[in-house]
Amino acid sequence: MDTKRVVRQYRLKKWSALITERQTSGLNVREFCKDRNIKELLLLLAKTYS
């Protein structure tokens, strides 16, 4: 497996976990991102591409 593929898989797992955590947290995207110091746009983009 090449490095780019490993990095991509790692990032997908990370963002997928955050998306799942947000969905089960009861918080809206803005609240969730503010609480975890994540740029809201990044979470929305991750959801789009996962």
**Which residues span the domain enclosing 9?**
3-49
**Residue labelled with tokens 């990370």:** 14
Question: Can you give the pLDDT at residue 3?
Answer: 93
Q: Domain count for the chain, please give it.
A: 1
For the question of whether the overall pTM of this predicted structure is more than 0.85, the answer is no
Q: Confidence band (pLDDT; 50, 70, 90) for 49? A: low
Burial 30-42 (b: 16+ CB within 10 A, else e): eebbeeeebeeee
| Residue in 2, 5, 18, 15 with CA at minimum distance from that of residue 49 | 15
Interval 19-44: pLDDT, tens: 899 889 999 888 888 898 888 777 77
Give CB contacts under 8 A, 24+ apart, made by 38-42: none
Beta strand segments in 1-50, E:
none
